[in-house]
Structure 1
């Protein structure tokens, strides 16, 4: 029995080593990086009831005067109808990409559209709503979306997917000291930082919902200039491994398809020249921060 347990432990360790040896590769037809936020739920749904329907007949005077009507019932009858969100923080869709392109036309966003509704999009929507007398919630309801469409043109394909580098996000506080690859899931950028200064930056993409890129503080564990995934058998040039088989590496699939695809958890880079230069500078032991 002891010998069997020893064999099981040995086999499990070997399997972990094989998995950690390079578990990334492009996913065909991937939906892009995963968004951790939960779907937007209306207040009525979160309370266990059905969505309110604007335009439903209001209660009659005799209803409100009924002896059986409690104050709480009267309050619920007089409550304003729920305003449904068209797009909200945490969404990741083509419609969000169109929203971002339109906000860019209106000079309310400077970064390229990513399709992910994060803090930058929320701030831009709040500014727009304040400028036009709409409730500054940061969430796009039907009235806000109609107004944005009215004041902007339908984006071109180049506006939706510009061939420019994404704007670097504000760095995570953990990126401000030492040598750090500072990787933002919201802006989809990697910033190579030394003592709080950005030395270089590049576009990146991440794993899908089923194989997400892990977030947190890591270290570069090892590097390989020429590497092929031992699981997916795809090339991973300039690999810098930081978390159990997840690595920063060049992706020919990302270079060809952009954000139409996704990795199996790795941080993909599409600019091979920039990554080659970064690979030469990064040392084993340098920090890696992955954050929203």
Structure 2
């Protein structure tokens, strides 16, 4: 349902009916009501906002007297995927809601510090700030998941490593792109409409851009950490394969003399001295056992296992 607010030191709810005078007004309009909402011409969103559900990335556009942006917030372990959009014209802002995510963000904006002589520029910076408010704990959880996965690899618990690592890498890639897109949006605003901000809000927008850049560095570091863990996993697999090959080699080496003995005494030539000997069979068994014991003793002394 559509709601209208006035942007003062704090965002104040006006009601569900559009105001008579549009000045420092924040309009929150559900996407399905956007085409019939009574909006000033400057707040009318461009076509890409109307097709917002089809987008899977963040973008911002600048037209004459209007800034329009779209946010695609990727899903993670404690949050579903969310979309929202905005248009900004003069002292007024339109937020396009696709679900309840916009209301959650507005609640968080209301918990931030009040701004003296606040307006649309301060609200835009506040809204951008709450988008990344919980990102550091999320990155911390990803780091803990990677650390736990590394411990499992070192302990040989690798049965589901590929599935878990694949999910973590996909999540890191999604958020790395998300932070890159937010950083690009902030840089674009600073470059194209710096005159729309006063000195304080401009400084806060620069701080937001640095925070997003820092978050991107953190995700890049975790991506490198994930690659390191994958290398450790491959090393563990190689060690296990080497152990198997070593065991097979030792077994083959131990039984190779027995194969020679079996082939030698299996010829059954007429004049073999042991062919008609009463103790020939037990003697061959004893010889084979002695050969095996000698081989095992030799490998043990050489620390082959």
- The two structures have a TM-score, normalised by structure 1, of 0.21
- The two structures have a TM-score, normalised by structure 2, of 0.21
Max Rg structure = 2
Q: Larger helix proportion, structure 1 or 2?
A: 2
